[in-house]
Amino acid sequence: MNSKGNIKKDNSQIAFLIDGFLKVRSTTSVLIETHLDEDSLNAFIEGQLSKVESQPIINHLVGCSFCRQVTAELVKLELSFAETDPVVSQHSEPTKVSEVINGLFSRLFGNTTGEVFAHQEPEDEKEDKKDENN
Amino acid sequence: MSPELALYDSLLENCEVVMDEIYSRCSENMPNFGVKNGCFNDSLKKTARKYLFKENNKPTSDEIKTFLIEIQAEDLFMAMACSNGNERAWWEFDQNHRGYLERVSRHLARSEADAQDVVDTVYVELYGTRVVDGERVSKFASYSGKGSLRGWLRTIVWHSLVDLHRTSHDEVSLDEMTENLGEGLAHASFAEQNLGGEETMLDQITIDRYRKVTVSAIEDAFANLENHEKLLLLYYHVDNLKLREISRLVQEPESELRSWFQRKSVNREQNPDTKIHESTVMRWLEKTYGKVLKYFKNDLQTQAGLKSEEIGICMQLATKDLANSSLYRNLLKR
How much is the ipTM here?
Answer: 0.78
Q: What is the mean pLDDT of residues B304-321?
A: 86
Q: Which of B128-132, B186-190, B226-230, B286-290 has the lowest mean pLDDT?
A: B186-190
> CA dist A29 to A61, B221, B233, B275, B289, Å?
12, 18, 16, 34, 22
Q: What is the mean pLDDT of residues B217-236?
A: 93
Instruction: List b or e across B103-134, with b for residues whose CB sees 16 or more CB atoms inside 10 angstroms.
Output: bbbebbbeeeebbebbbbbbbbbbbbeeeeee
- Residues in chain B within 8 Å Cβ distance of A23: 186, 237-238, 328
The overall average pLDDT reported for chain B is 82
Backbone angles phi, psi at A68, to 5 degrees: -65, -40
DSSP-derived secondary structure for A54-100:
HHHHHHHHHH-HHHHHHHHHHHHHHHHHTTSPPP-----S---HHHH
Give residue-wise pLDDT tens across range B194-215: 444 554 566 778 888 888 899 8
Angle between helices B326-333 and B204-223 (to 10 degrees): 70
Angle between helices B149-168 and A65-81 (to 10 degrees): 120
Give residue-wise pLDDT tens across range B135-181: 889 999 999 999 999 999 999 999 999 888 877 665 555 555 544 43
Has residue B128 got a pLDDT over 80?
yes
- Please give, rounded to a whole number of angstroms, the shortest distance from the CA of B237 to a CA of chain A: 6
Q: Minimal CA–CA distance to B8: which of B43, B57, B41, B77? A: B57
- Residues in chain A within 8 Å Cβ distance of B90: 95, 97, 100
Greater model confidence, B70 or A20: B70
Give residue-wise pLDDT tens across range A98-132: 666 666 666 555 554 444 444 444 444 445 545 55
- Residues in chain B within 8 Å Cβ distance of A38: 142, 152, 155-156, 159
Contact B120 A107 (CB under 8 A): yes
> pLDDT value at position B260?
63
Q: How many CB atoms lie within 10 A of CB A27?
A: 11
- The residues that bridge with B136 in the sheet, in sequence order, are B131
The pTM for the full model equals: 0.75
Distance of CA A79 to the CA centre of its chain: 13
As to burial, measured by CB atoms within 10 angstroms (0-12 exposed, 13-18 middle, 19+ buried), residue B99 is: middle
> pLDDT value at position A112?
44
Q: What value, to the nearest 5°, has the Cα angle with vertex B306 and ends B300 and B311?
A: 70
Backbone angles phi, psi at B132, to 5 degrees: -120, 125
Q: What is the mean pLDDT of residues A89-93?
A: 49
Residue A118 CA to residue A105 CA, distance in Å, equals 13
Contact B159 A116 (CB under 8 A): no
Contact A17 B218 (CB under 8 A): yes
Contact A124 B88 (CB under 8 A): no
Do residues B284 and B247 touch, judged by C-beta distance below 8 A? no
Contact A46 B252 (CB under 8 A): yes
Q: Please report, rounded to a whole number, the percentage of residues in chain A having pLDDT higher than 90.
A: 18
Residue B128 CA to residue B164 CA, distance in Å, equals 18
Angle between helices B73-83 and B16-29 (to 10 degrees): 70
Greater model confidence, A121 or B51: B51
Q: Look up residue A113 and give its DSSP letter.
A: -
Give residue-wise pLDDT tens across range B231-290: 999 999 999 999 888 887 777 666 666 666 655 455 555 555 566 677 888 888 999 999
